[in-house]
Chain A
């Protein structure tokens, strides 16, 4: 542990040196688009909520600017050999702070972490992000939760609610003494630390919670602060002001003392405000980048996908293997057709809608994001054999190959006269999304379902043009269906689609976070395919606890999964251009939990960072990162 802390302070010293020349500011002016729901930091449906949670509260551990897990409110930890029991030792004498930045009488203790989890685990509190995966991970939690649910619904009557609440004693989150918390898990979890950076594992002061009752988090004075900042001012739908917490355990790393976030919904206004010097940072859409070309700002616009917010998100096309459209069902269950589809989609062109400059920079062919998880030797999971080749392939689009595979598929599926074997004319009833007639002949009719918003509609139109170009209009006819606002309930769950696209965040630091829920009947197996061979590999991998062995089998599973085209991954989240006065690589980096929203350690300069400077900093940072990871 000591070594790590020493490492951090060395890094901090380096930052201090690196920025010594430029004038730094102790203020950051930013924007947010949607008002947060509340300051109840356990429940963070919007990014604004996540910003609040990440900056006003600290968890047991956090991720540093190299994405490593480092001590936060816990100063050290250990686990038993099979990773089912984790013990955390807290810092002593850290106090909760109120919305005036004053120390309260409450100390942050082990009980606060237990209390926080008790709050999260009670269904009455409506903490939606308590996922079923986590309920099944923490010992005793699922039963406790479901008991309470059954009591509330009147299904279970043999026990009172109070008694059921008392059963929290049996859940595997405990305070051994004032400064020691333990978590007992159902399955060996070597990557448990990546759960602890989620908002669900934040602490709350019991007495204060009891005092504010249902008002917890409805205003800035209705919560206490354990993080680097407290909320000093807040106007709903207008402004949130963070001020540095003077009693923060790591106060010396906080360079920026005031963070002022304003609600600005129009991105064009954001850019104007930045140009007028009212903001420290503005994210730019492709069109705005174009509009700024040739101005003095152009030298400071850069895009840094791996550092962007949504990097750990992967977008993929989902195909419906059990579609009620008989033509599509026949085709999609044919591997050659799926390959033809995969070759027929020009990912770069699709992304050109979002980024006309470097559309290829965010293409992703794999499910698991790169640069997120490393084995014990410091090797990136995405560099494992099988995966590495798929990544290297880049844009899969290849019209000739698409036609070749389509020809194979047509040979297998049709009688050569345009009739699809075994498919009769039928009416496809996917109301209210769509309703259409299929005739059992070519062209194959497919229903692509999308949101009724400008970008999604454009993407759909482009995809249609692309597929009809690659396969020929005589072979495919893409139809559209729209969902109003709930893709899942309107389209995914009732299987009212042939193809949709969706995106999923890599939730915790293990390939099983995605691969484990893509198995037959898995949580996000929305296409309802089934491949026993893949299921078996995933199952096998999950039983290995040495990371390199575990990753090797997972990589094999993922490669097989991708080769059989059960979903078509096509890009990562991100690709946001930015113009900023924040020195890159100074704040925490990480795709898990709420880490990426932390402003801790951020350094703001007077002038925008130029692309040149960014390149230099990036080269230096990558060198440091490589050194850190192989250590």
Chain B
């Protein structure tokens, strides 16, 4: 045995001296949930690349309007400035009123991102609280299940059309309309998770071994929920951005003097044959953002699954 490793290629292996302290470490892994999640996540270059895309678009969307003084709704009275194709001064060209598409795209990105973030936070926030209660408080199960069935069976168009009549069409109305149906799905999801985690064997075992409640929650339950919730949030954002585009198409979107990606896509679509770039830019950005969020969300959910941690 002793001579065997001498035959191994030099440079690949080196003998390690015995270290008592290091040997102790194997007995207790310094496992940190978040660090492992993060480590698993950044191991994948695609995830990191797409995260970067999101960061860049967020930065452009939120910083451009602050640092630029170009008004995205500034109409040019000179008709020769209408429908310009991309050129210096107007990197994305101008639209049918001579409005600068570069400025409009970033303002629109901001509006749509904001919309997505707010809806995600509200949906997940409400869904988490209600879902946890629904899962833990057994008395709530019946009425909540009924509420779920009812909300699930009210066609969404009814709410989407009715709300703007009761409130006014606008940013917050869209948010309320989309949230009104979004939270219940997440709540139900959380409820199912809570029930299954609560009654899972390892938790029963943990309880039997006398693990204190706070440790059970922080180590056993929360990691599962947090990963799920973050993924839900990450997936709600592209869904909300997509919904805004769809609502614009059926005429229930944001007021048209609000600059949003949905409005840009729908306005561009009308002129696609003639001025393809008016559709191309906002579409490319919508696609990049939604795909990035979708993949990053999924990757993060994979990374945050303790089973995938090594």
Binary flags per residue of A346-371, CB closer than 8 Å to B gives 1, else 0: 00010011001000000000000000
Binary flags per residue of A447-490, CB closer than 8 Å to B gives 1, else 0: 00000111001101110111001000000000010101000000
A45: Cβ under 8 A from any B Cβ: no
Q: Which residues of A contact B257 (CB under 8 A)?
A: 457, 460-461, 480
Interface size on B, residues (CB 8 A): 22
Q: Which residues of B contact A290 (CB under 8 A)?
A: 274
Q: Which residues of A contact B76 (CB under 8 A)?
A: 465
Q: Which residues of B contact A353 (CB under 8 A)?
A: 96-97
B residues 224-260 near A (Cβ < 8 Å) are 251, 255-257
B77: Cβ under 8 A from any A Cβ: yes
Minimal Cβ-Cβ distance residue in B for A352:
B79
Q: Once bound together, how far apart are the Cα atoms of A617 and B162, in whole Å?
A: 52
A484 x B75 contact (CB < 8 A): no
Q: Which of B73, B77, B169, B271 contacts A482 (CB 8 A)?
A: B169
A349 x B79 contact (CB < 8 A): yes
A432 x B168 contact (CB < 8 A): yes
Minimal Cβ-Cβ distance residue in B for A288:
B273
A461 x B75 contact (CB < 8 A): yes
Beyond A352-B79, A452-B255, whether A291 also contacts B274 by CB under 8 A is: yes
Minimal Cβ-Cβ distance residue in B for A466:
B77
Q: Which 9 A-B pairs have the closest CB atoms?
A: A465-B75, A457-B256, A461-B75, A291-B273, A291-B274, A432-B168, A287-B274, A452-B255, A482-B255
Q: Once bound together, how far apart are the Cα atoms of A290 and B271, in whole Å?
A: 11
A453 x B256 contact (CB < 8 A): yes
Q: Once bound together, how far apart are the Cα atoms of A460 and B255, in whole Å?
A: 13
Binary flags per residue of A392-434, CB closer than 8 Å to B gives 1, else 0: 0000000000000000000000000000000000000000100
Beyond A291-B273, A454-B267, A458-B97, whether A356 also contacts B79 by CB under 8 A is: yes
Q: Which residues of A contact B149 (CB under 8 A)?
A: none
A469 x B169 contact (CB < 8 A): no
Q: Once bound together, how far apart are the Cα atoms of A457 and B259, in whole Å?
A: 12
Least CB distance from B111 to A in Å reads 16
Least CB distance from A594 to B in Å reads 28
B164: Cβ under 8 A from any A Cβ: yes
Q: Which residues of B contact A452 (CB under 8 A)?
A: 169, 255-256
Q: Once bound together, how far apart are the Cα atoms of A353 and B83, in whole Å?
A: 11
Majority secondary structure of chain A interface residues (helix, strand, loop or mixed): helix
Q: Which residues of B contact A465 (CB under 8 A)?
A: 74-77
Q: Once bound together, how far apart are the Cα atoms of A484 and B169, in whole Å?
A: 8
B196: Cβ under 8 A from any A Cβ: no
B96 x A458 contact (CB < 8 A): yes
Q: Which residues of A contact B165 (CB under 8 A)?
A: 484
Q: Once bound together, how far apart are the Cα atoms of A458 and B73, in whole Å?
A: 10
A-B contact pairs, 19 of them (CB 8 A): A287-B271, A287-B273, A290-B274, A291-B273, A291-B274, A352-B79, A353-B97, A452-B256, A454-B256, A454-B266, A457-B255, A457-B256, A457-B257, A458-B96, A461-B257, A462-B97, A464-B75, A465-B74, A482-B169
Minimal Cβ-Cβ distance residue in B for A285:
B270
Binary flags per residue of B52-93, CB closer than 8 Å to A gives 1, else 0: 000000000000000000000111110100000000000000
A143: Cβ under 8 A from any B Cβ: no
6 more A-B contacts (CB under 8 A) besides A352-B79, A464-B75?
A287-B274, A291-B273, A452-B255, A454-B267, A465-B75, A482-B169
A residues 368-386 near B (Cβ < 8 Å) are none
Q: Which residues of A contact B79 (CB under 8 A)?
A: 349, 352, 356
Minimal Cβ-Cβ distance residue in A for B78:
A349
Q: Once bound together, how far apart are the Cα atoms of A458 and B270, in whole Å?
A: 14
B residues 247-295 near A (Cβ < 8 Å) are 251, 255-257, 266-267, 270-271, 273-274
Minimal Cβ-Cβ distance residue in A for B270:
A454
Binary flags per residue of A335-353, CB closer than 8 Å to B gives 1, else 0: 0000000000000010011
Least CB distance from A489 to B in Å reads 11
Q: Once bound together, how far apart are the Cα atoms of A480 and B77, in whole Å?
A: 18
A268: Cβ under 8 A from any B Cβ: yes
Q: Which residues of B contact A482 (CB under 8 A)?
A: 169, 255
A residues 55-100 near B (Cβ < 8 Å) are none
Least CB distance from A108 to B in Å reads 43
Least CB distance from B115 to A in Å reads 17
Q: Once bound together, how far apart are the Cα atoms of A432 and B173, in whole Å?
A: 13
Q: Once bound together, how far apart are the Cα atoms of A210 and B165, in whole Å?
A: 40
Q: Once bound together, how far apart are the Cα atoms of A453 and B270, in whole Å?
A: 13
Least CB distance from B103 to A in Å reads 14
Q: Which residues of A contact B168 (CB under 8 A)?
A: 432
Minimal Cβ-Cβ distance residue in A for B275:
A287
A residues 153-178 near B (Cβ < 8 Å) are none
Least CB distance from A237 to B in Å reads 16
Q: Which residues of B contact A466 (CB under 8 A)?
A: 77
Q: Which of A349, A352, A452 has the most CB of B within 10 A?
A: A452
Minimal Cβ-Cβ distance residue in B for A356:
B79
Q: Which residues of A contact B251 (CB under 8 A)?
A: 453
Least CB distance from B52 to A in Å reads 35
Q: Which residues of B contact A287 (CB under 8 A)?
A: 270-271, 273-274
Q: Which residues of B contact A469 (CB under 8 A)?
A: 77
B97 x A461 contact (CB < 8 A): yes
Least CB distance from B107 to A in Å reads 15
Q: Once bound together, how far apart are the Cα atoms of A349 and B81, in whole Å?
A: 13
A484 x B164 contact (CB < 8 A): yes
Q: Which residues of B contact A462 (CB under 8 A)?
A: 75, 77, 97
Binary flags per residue of B164-179, CB closer than 8 Å to A gives 1, else 0: 1100110000000000
Q: Which residues of A contact B97 (CB under 8 A)?
A: 353, 458, 461-462
Least CB distance from B8 to A in Å reads 71
Q: Once bound together, how far apart are the Cα atoms of A452 and B251, in whole Å?
A: 9
Least CB distance from A263 to B in Å reads 17
Beyond A454-B256, A458-B97, A465-B77, whether A268 also contacts B273 by CB under 8 A is: yes
